[in-house]
Every structure is written in C-alpha cells, then in structure tokens.
Amino acid sequence: MSQIFLSEIILYVLFLAFIIIEEPPLVAAYIIAVAAAIFYLRRKKKDKLAELERLYADNLPKAGLFMAVLALAFPFLIGGDAYWMQVINFAMMNAMMALGLNLMTGRAGLICLGYAAFEAIGAYTVGILTLKMGISFWVAFPLGGLFAFFVGILLGLPALRVKGHYLALVTIAFGLIVQEIALNAESVTGGTNGLIDIPSPVLFSHDFATSLDFGFISMNYLANFYYLILAVLIISVMAIYCLSNSFFGLSLNAMRDDQLAAQCYGMNLTRYKLYAFAIGAIFGGLAGGIYAGMINFIAPENFGYGLSIIIISMIILGGLDSIPGAIAGALFLTVFPEKFRAFEDYRIFFYGLIIVFCLLFMRDGVLPFKYRIFKAKEAEKV
C-alpha cells in the first residue's frame, strides 16, 4: 500500500505544481519534462508499472479513498483561491461529462458528437424549475439527470437504424436541434438572453452563494460547489465502474467490438444501444444542473458544438473506455488552456491537434483501458 500512497502523492504534487506555474514557457517546459518521464517509464520500467497496476487493482477501494482525501484537501492547499476553484470545478464537471460520453463511445462504440446537448438539458431543467416554478435545487437537480436519461432514449432510437459516420451526423443534428429549441422557445428558455439569476442551492439553511466558513479559514462561495461536484463525481465514478465491470459493461464491449457476433450470441442490440445512450446522458444532465446552480446564468451558446468536441478530445487523450483516462483528460484539457489565455481564440484548434496527435501516435490514450481477463479460477468459483 505504501507504493500506492506514494504514487498518488507524487501525482498530486505534480498537479499542484502545474497549477502554481504561471509563465507559458515554464508551463511548456514542465509538460515536456513530464511527457519525457512518462515515455521513459513506459519504455524502461514496464515491469514496475505493471506491478503498480496490479497493486492498484488489488487495493482499489483503499487507493480510491486516499485519493478522495487528497481531493478534499485541495481548497486548503491553494488557500481557497477563487480563480483556481472555478477552473477545477469546471474540470470536474467536464470529467462527469467525459465519463458519460466514454460509456457511450468508449465502451459501447456509439459515436456521439452532440453530447453538450445533454448538459444543456440538465441546465435548462434546473434553471426553469428553480427560477420559474420555485422548486428546490435538490429536487430539480436529479430531475435534470432523469430528463436527460429520457432524451437519451429518444436519441438512441435513430441509432438503431444507422451506424458509423451516419450516426455521427445524427448526433450532430441532435445537438443543433436542442440548441435551436433553446434559442427559439423564448417564453420558457429566455431565448438569446438565456436564464438570469438562477437560484443557488441552499442546504440546511446554508446558501451556496455565500462563503464557506470553517472557523479557522473562510473560503469563497465556489468551495461549496467544489465539494458538491466532488461528491457527485465520486458517485459517478463508482457507478460507471460498477456498470463497466458488470455483465452489462461486458455486453457493451461485445456490441462495440462486433455487433453481428454479439447478436448471434443472443444480445438484444436494440435494448443495449438505448441503455448506453440513456445512461451516458444522465451524467451530462447532472453536470448541467450543477453548472446552472453555480453560474446562475445559462444561454444557448454555453452548450454549442465546440463543447462536444472538447469532451471528445478529453476521452481520446485519456483513453477510450478508461475511467481514470476520462478524468485525467478532463483535468488536463481544462487546466492547460488556462495557462495560455493569450491564445484563447485558438482553443478549438488546439483540441483538434490533440485528437489528430492521439489518433496518429497514441491511439490508446495516456491511460489505456485494461481488458478484463476471465481466469479459470474465477470460473471455478462461479
């Protein structure tokens, strides 16, 4: 266990150092140095890395718990800095969406290029219910995920008849349709003006729009949302992990690798495709609900096609069907652009380069998915 704790602390310190460094040349040098170290470890220390992977696999609950403790301490280590609190909040929301998209695309093999629409659905559900109907955020929040679930089923219906690039076109059209509805249904969504002054969550008489006071330190209101998003992200990771390592997850893998063979073995492709779209959509809806409560303003342009491309970049960089890869990709591709604000206009160009580079030289991503191996001893236990 000491090796696990040490490796997590090293990664944590490297991440904090990445945040602290501000000068673009130093950031670039830092990234090159870390990339070189990863390359060296993969080439020269394969056995050590394989041993560490086995340790993580055997001690996953303890490793996850220790990482959660480190995450809880993050606001204290940065002194409650409002700017970086907001950036990390966005990173964790992106991680939630990356997990949902990874279930659709990485595990089930269903291309979705309009995933931002599910975040829009969750955000507008929370915004409309809390602002116009006076419903509590804690009721509207799960309803946003539930509504996204049902819309995911509707999106899954065309997926039953098309595949490949045709499915990609259908999902792009879906994202554009949702955005157009948000633009034109002015009486409900506010149109181009969006929804303004969406109420913040209130828990046990504590308004999330007020500072978080621990007695010895008082933090910006964003710390409230940091711990909320962290809790939802941890639950999301646990849910995705359980689904991925169940018969349902293995069935999605079979459908992704060979639909015809899976159907010959008795798989109901219709049902599993609908499940994949619907369950994957939930996480986008939940992320959108938190976004609405935290920013207190939403507009159609917040959920455009560019956001969908960003989320796709995250799962490709991290590794398709890899849970830690989706989180790592979301953290890096949210934090990295903040270091180069002067080149903000070229952000989408940068994400495009990431996709091309990964497809050409690193198809498995930074943290590749590890296939489950069904061993004879496990069969005997069954």
* pLDDT (tens digit per residue) in 106-158: 888 888 899 999 999 999 999 999 998 989 999 999 999 999 999 999 888 87
Buried b (16+ CB within 10 A) or exposed e, 120-155: bbbbbbbbbbbbeeebebeebbbbbbebbbebbeeb
Mean pLDDT within 186-201? 90
Q: Please tell me the predicted confidence (pLDDT) of residue 22.
A: 79
pLDDT digits (tens, 9 = 90+) for 19-29: 888 787 888 88
Residue bearing the bigger pLDDT, 216 or 326: 326
Q: How confident is the model at residue 371 (pLDDT cuts 50, 70, 90)?
A: low
Q: How far apart are CA 96 and CA 330, in angstroms?
A: 9
Residue bearing the bigger pLDDT, 369 or 11: 11
Q: How far apart are CA 302 and CA 112, in angstroms?
A: 18
Is pLDDT above 60 for 379? no
pLDDT digits (tens, 9 = 90+) for 249-308: 888 888 888 888 888 888 888 889 899 999 999 999 999 999 999 999 999 999 988 899
Return the closest-CA partner of residue 336 out of 8, 34, 10, 7. Answer: 34
pLDDT digits (tens, 9 = 90+) for 63-105: 888 888 899 999 888 877 888 899 999 999 999 999 999 999 9
> What percent of the chain lies above the pLDDT cut of 70?
95
Kindly report the three-state secondary structure assignment for every residue of the chain.
Answer: CHHHHHHHHHHHHHHHHHHHCCCHHHHHHHHHHHHHHHHHHHHHCHHHHHHHHHHHHHCHHHHHHHHHHHHHHHHHHCCCCHHHHHHHHHHHHHHHHHHHHHHHHHHCCCCCCCCHHHHHHHHHHHHHHHHCCCCCHHHHHHHHHHHHHHHHHHHHHHHCCCCCHHHHHHHHHHHHHHHHHHHHCHHHHCHHHCEECCCCCEECCEECCCCEECCCCEECCHHHHHHHHHHHHHHHHHHHHHHHCCHHHHHHHHHHHCHHHHHHCCCCHHHHHHHHHHHHHHHHHHHHHHHHHHHCEECHHHHCHHHHHHHHHHHHHHCCCCHHHHHHHHHHHHHHHHHHHHHHHHHHHHHHHHHHHHHHHCCCCCCCCCCCCCCHHHHHHC
Q: How confident is the model at residue 362 (pLDDT cuts 50, 70, 90)?
A: confident
Residue bearing the bigger pLDDT, 381 or 237: 237
Q: How confident is the model at residue 380 (pLDDT cuts 50, 70, 90)?
A: very low
pLDDT digits (tens, 9 = 90+) for 347-360: 667 777 777 877 77
Is pLDDT above 80 for 203? yes
The neighbour count for residue 379, using CB atoms within 10 Å, is: 8
Residues 338, 89 contacting (CB under 8 angstroms):
no
Q: Please tell me the predicted confidence (pLDDT) of residue 342.
A: 66
